Amino acid sequence: MDKNIDWANLGFGYIQSEYRYISNFKDGKWDDGVLSTDANVTINESAGVLQYAQTCFEGLKAYRTKDGNVVCFRPDLNAKRMADSCRRLEMPVFPEDRFIEAVEKVVKANIDIVPPYGSGATLYLRPYMFGSNAVIGVKPATEYQFRIFVTPVGPYFKGGVKPITLRVPDFDRAAPRGTGHVKAGLNYAMSLHAIVDAHNQGYNENMYLDSATRTKVEETGGANFIFVSKDGTVITPKSDTILPSITRRSLMYVAEHCLGLKTEEREVLVDEIKDFTECALCGTAAVLSPVARVVDHSKDIFVAKDTENMGEITKKLYDTLTGIQMGRIEAPNGWIKVIQ
Ligand SMILES: *Cc1c(COP(=O)(O)O)cnc(C)c1O
């Protein structure tokens, strides 16, 4: 294991690793793919990605488990979601079985920087694809590059599990109808202004509402919401314009099947969140981050029952999910891919 990294104090940043996986698409097919030590990408000035943002990505993690294995959590769902993103952006699909093989290869090549069990850090994997040849008329590129790099990361929000605060912004979330299911930089680029503004005003993140009516809760910049109602039901917003988080789908399964809780995936009105007892953000990066307060133009519209600590049900969900990922709790069938 790399002795130069201070695992316990890692933030969520980029640390260059030795190896990344690269495969190129040309003349209608993907090449065999290689591991490379070159962290730089060289492309034409008119590449499809640079002019028309033809690119999408994924995010998943490798964990070192209690018994010393290195595992990935449900990489098949990342492979499938990336294929969906590619189809929506008129990009060629990187075959799902090859996606999983590439994940395995790149983690194995960088096994020395998979953080130790119990350190609180994990290895984040960033698969992505972009149009690499020159286009100037508005049309899809004909050549693409698929890459996966890795970087060891700590918690996404500073302070670990301490509750964060959100606000409802004046800005709509970037993802317009139809692109909500695409995990793509184009949606993130349009959200940067809202997030910088939120930070300037002292909030950690935004609670985006549906752009059509601005009455329903959507998600935050890069994570879905989970709420708990007074009677202990775990509720998550149902919407066509949010990214279907793998963490959220897993947590809802865990709530129902491992913890025996009542669950609902349904439209959530902004007006009803004042009655909820717990709120948290979920995603690969955020894991499950508790929310203390949500503010709408200086008015509190949600205040957690406990604003200092993770709520009771959020904590149970967090412990069960991370227990499964770190090998302390038996995983539902097919959730854990051992890297060997
Ligand atoms: C990646 C992402 C999420 C979280 O999805 P996970 O699969 O749980 O990591 C949520 N919302 C958006 C917009 C995202 O890009």
Query: pLDDT tens digits, residue range 203-234?
Result: 999 999 998 899 999 999 899 999 999 999 99
Residues in contact with 234: Cβ distance below 8 Å, sequence separation at least 6, in sequence order: 226, 227, 228, 251, 252, 255, 256, 261, 262, 263, 264, 313, 317
Q: How confident is the model at residue 186, as a pLDDT?
A: 87
Rounded to an integer, the average pLDDT of 30-53 is 97
User: How many percent of the chain have pLDDT more than 70?
Assistant: 96
Can you tell me which atom of ligand 1 is nearest the CA of 283?
A: 8
Rounded to an integer, the average pLDDT of 162-178 is 78
Measured by CA distance, the residue closest to atom 12 of ligand 1 is 222
Interhelix angle 246-253/312-325, rounded to 10 degrees, is 110
- CA nearest 218: which of 204, 198, 239, 203? 239
Q: Tell me, in angstroms, the distance from the centre of ligand 1 to residue 53's CA.
A: 19
Model pLDDT for residues 5-35, shown as the tens digit of each residue: 899 889 899 999 999 999 999 999 999 999 9
- Supply the mean pLDDT for the chain: 94
Ligand 1 contacts CB of residue 247 (under 6 A)? yes
Ligand 1 contacts CB of residue 173 (under 6 A)? no
Q: Tell me, in angstroms, the distance from the centre of ligand 1 to residue 285's CA.
A: 8
Ligand 1 contacts CB of residue 20 (under 6 A)? no
More confident residue, 136 or 186: 136
Can you tell me which atom of ligand 1 is nearest the CA of 175?
A: 13
Ligand 1 contacts CB of residue 224 (under 6 A)? yes
Q: How confident is the model at residue 176, as a pLDDT?
A: 60
**C-beta separation of 234 from 311 below 8 A:** no
Q: Which of 177-191, 237-251, 315-329 has the lowest mean pLDDT?
A: 177-191
Q: Which of 74-78, 141-145, 187-191, 197-201 has the lowest mean pLDDT?
A: 187-191
Backbone φ and ψ of 63, nearest 5°: -120, 145
More confident residue, 158 or 78: 78
Look at residue 202 and tell me whether its pLDDT is greater than 90: yes
Band of residue 171 on the pLDDT scale cut at 50, 70, 90 = confident
Rounded to an integer, the average pLDDT of 259-281 is 98
Which residues have a catalytic role annotated? 183
Q: How confident is the model at residue 2, as a pLDDT?
A: 64
Band of residue 43 on the pLDDT scale cut at 50, 70, 90 = very high
